[in-house]
Structure 1
Amino acid sequence: MELISGAERNQLFESFAQDAFHLEMRDDYSVPDEDGPFADWLRGVVDHAYMAPWTNMIRRVTSEGKSVRRVRVVSEPHTRYIQWEYATTAVNVEAGEDIRWLPRHQVPGHLVFPVGGNDWWLFDDKTLAVGHFDETGRVLGSELVEDPGIVAECVRVRDLLWAAATPHREYKP
């Protein structure tokens, strides 16, 4: 399996035409770029400057009429990491992302998650960037998948979860 970096995955935002959708399934992300800001937040220091490259990109693509959406499937009560994500989500939303929350216990019991239950980005219902992590939760990279059957299953799961999830402004953990 060939993995691409986060920077290479973000290049997909330069070429998608209509919709980018992210499914997040983990209660903790050990992303090195976030280690410092997360530790600061735990100490009560809030600084969203580290988010600027992402939010600038989101503003640009959404100003072009494209949508960027995500569903966060989370355990309740939230881990400290998810508490931090919740606290910073308003910055993502202000930049143009449409983010919804789905408590893990509300996921339909019959649902089998595609691609091994990993997180994924779906671009224009045709290209998947499936996230892979090591045993400690650190991001290894993303695997690009364009198999029509796998993509179709991810589209089905996206639509089901999107309908079931609560918009950020309404979600109260």
Structure 2
Amino acid sequence: MLLRLNNEPDLWGSLFAECKRAAFHLETLDAYAVASESEPLRQFLAGEPADTSWFDPWRTLMQDTTSRGVTVRRVRVVTEPLIDYQRWLLTLTPENITAGEDIRYLPRHLAGPVPTEDYWLFDDERVAFHARDAANRGLAMVVTDDPGLVRYCVDVRNRLWESATPFTEYAGT
């Protein structure tokens, strides 16, 4: 069983570079405390024009990943009505989609049981869990290939993906 605890920024690049077929991200929190998002979120709440240049590194990573034929999918489990953070993410989701991600939304009240930890699933072989503090600030990633954890994450993905609504339909409601 591979188990890595890592808070190095280049871990993301490595995980996506090693991914051959598919990456899936499950988001279960209503808000995240990501330092690089603070100013863009403040601008959104103030009604100021959006500057998405801070998103460029992720956009590039997703474009590089999907150009190799890797599918990248994401489900956001959200509480309705959406809080400000999720309303802001909804306006940014076209950036993710343009970069190659397929994103779906699932209202929490329709999701059934969901894990309390977000994760990335790579090629149905490896899982990277987000380690967060009490304020939802990212601390590190815990990466494992434990077959039981991977199978659990695959099952959760399959169940939630089928129930979730594609972004274009969700945003139109």
TM-score strictly above 0.5:
yes
Aligned-pair distance for 1:2? 5.8
Contact 1:119–1:131 (8 Å) recurs in 2 = yes
* Aligned partner letter, 2:27: E
Report how far residue 6 of structure 1 moved.
Answer: 6.0
- Say if 1:75 and 1:9 are closer, same or farther in 2 by CA, change over 3 A: farther
How many angstroms does 1:3 deviate by? Answer: 2.9
Count of residue pairs brought into register by the alignment: 168
- Aligned residue for 1:4? 6
Q: Which residue in 2 is equivalent to 1:68?
A: 72
Per-residue CA distance 1:103-158 (angstroms, 9 max, x = gap): 000013xx363xxx200000000111101211112111111121101100110110
What SS is found at the alignment partner of 1:65? coil
- In the other structure, the counterpart of 1:84 is 88
In structure 2, distance between residues paired with 1:82 and 1:112 = 18
Could you tell me which residue of structure 2 aligns to residue 101 of structure 1?
105
Q: Which residue of 2 aligns with 1:36?
A: 39
How has the CA–CA distance of structure 1 residues 79 and 9 changed in structure 2, closer, same or farther, with 3 Å as cutoff? farther
Distance 1:102 1:6, change over 3 A: farther
Is the contact made by 1:127 and 1:144 (CA closer than 8 Å) also made in structure 2?
A: yes
2:55 paired residue number: 51
Q: Secondary structure at the match of 2:157?
A: helix
What residue identity is the alignment partner of 2:19?
A: F
Q: State the identity as a percent.
A: 42
Does the Cα contact within 8 Å between 2:4 and 2:144 map onto a contact in 1? Answer: no
Q: Measure, in 1, the Cα distance between the counterparts of 2:94 and 2:137.
A: 25
Is the alpha carbon distance of 1:54 and 1:6 closer, same or farther for their aligned partners in structure 2, counting shifts above 3 Å? farther
Query: Take 1:21 and 1:31, find their aligned partners in 2: how far apart are those partners?
Result: 20
Name segments (4+ residues, structure 1) moved above 2 Å. Answer: none
SS in 2 for 1:3: strand
Is 1:17 matched up with 2:16?
no
Distance 1:2 1:125, change over 3 A: closer
Q: Which 5+ residue runs of structure 1 have no aligned equivalent?
A: none
Change (3 A) 1:36 1:6: farther
Q: Find the residue that maps to 1:142 and give its secondary structure.
A: strand
Shift of 1:88: 0.4
Give 1:3's aligned amino acid. Answer: L
Paired amino acid for 1:68: V
